[in-house]
A and B are shown apart, each in its own frame.
Chain A
């Protein structure tokens, strides 16, 4: 009975892992990059210069700019610069149509000069963040697919734990240079050692999309009016309507300080001003998401904009909202400082590696049978091609995205769309290439190309912008320098992988077959 159960779980692990492995690899890798979303955006829009953060100055600059350029707007939004995201972003909306998403005008200001920055059009890190859960598909299909993938990931994790018999005995075991054995060791090691992260990230993603995954409780209490549920969970700030009499808006800085006192020294993330030119103007100050592990679904302090009277302080969140918020916060890691953020990044890479090694093992195990003849059946060849394109091909696509950012002319129409398209074109081409080349050759060539593209990124950055490693290190612009150095390291890693792959191909025939036989007997 016990063995039967374990075998059933192993079967589920194998096939769930294979079918969704390619997609999960992309979701994990882009999600990992999204931990450095702001830093990537900073690199991709180098025109937005980093300055030491000074909220008083930034706020005065933003208010001044908006008063000059959008005095009659219905709403203003001001997002303050952070050490991670140097841009002072202002946004306004001329007219509010209830029920419709009005057209916003957004500008990024330089917090020192007060001028709008003419930054190149680019999605920046936002692209990876969006792709991570929307998969570049129209709403809501991408979300459904990624939620489904998360569910499968959860199943694969649980079945993986059950299948892995010697989870504690093998806890410290990794035996390199032993072919299939090493892949399995590696798969188990990154799986088991980083298991808390894997479980947290997968479970929390289901919590984040819980209204899609488990709508029954909402339907049961709210009927078909799911809006009512969201209105209760995320109470919108009910601000007084405009009276139609002109008024003068107070300086925002004192209100900012007052809000900060309410939060015992917490940070302000953004501000919204309703009817800025009206006597009934109101100012909502929102708390920054980086303040606590538990994600805050809108801690707000509201003021009357002309008298400065404190109107409302949002209450403490309820327990369910606190629990939901902690999963949300843990998943997104907004609270993480630089060190913890890097640890998040490494954990994400470990997750990606776990999925990648799993895919390689699936194929490796089945290829053994056909090692002698050298002819692979169609289904194995298909898996091989998809393995290559989904892993090394994705690396090439990511590097191409960064290259496009530097090489496409700044004035090009629909520039940011073209950046995204070059990502998918490169990915598509890598699929074609993988289909045309023999297995190992395909791996070696794509990994080498990926290595070359990544290693050259600091170089191309130096050639096309004035923000090369020398200047970014001198001016302590860590995001810019860190990006270049990380690309360099990533390129070196890919180069090492290509070299290993090449050497394995040369050594392969006899030794591998003997080892494979031994492994087969062991793995049963």
Chain B
């Protein structure tokens, strides 16, 4: 990423990944609190939240119109829009962007649905590389119990119901998220994920996350001194 002439610090992109029920959203919210308390300008972005394709995605999901390829492309379009308007400008302004899910979610889900892994990676070749990507790892049973315990209804696509793995939503969820989990494990080395054990107490996970994040800011100290 090119740095503007007057910007003293470069932005930071921090992403959290993991299957549904891994606890990543809780962790990123705690991280946000801490970064803000330390005086960082923080923006938060979620997977699948841009205006551009929201209507199409909603309608398509409701009517189960999506195939693995259109599912993948719709999410890539959504991500491209979000990257353009909600991520890159903030990084250029030197802010910290926290992303709850990033391109690895697409790789894991799309490959679990049967698209080609190399095609999926090429598709997202335009994405900015994060400074750090956390992977919150939990066994599938833990995730299933958390989801079943907290939500009234498992969502159709989150359970991979479009794949016809099992007519029972909970069983389908278990099978599909199990595949997604395998993909995350496979990607850990490829993308250098920082793996956090999602079964540990929330506060000790957060301590681990914060100590890793603190390190990605250490290079700024020198830059700030040189500028003053």
Q: Do A and B bind each other?
A: no
By a beta-carbon cutoff of 8 Å, the part of chain A in contact with chain B is: none
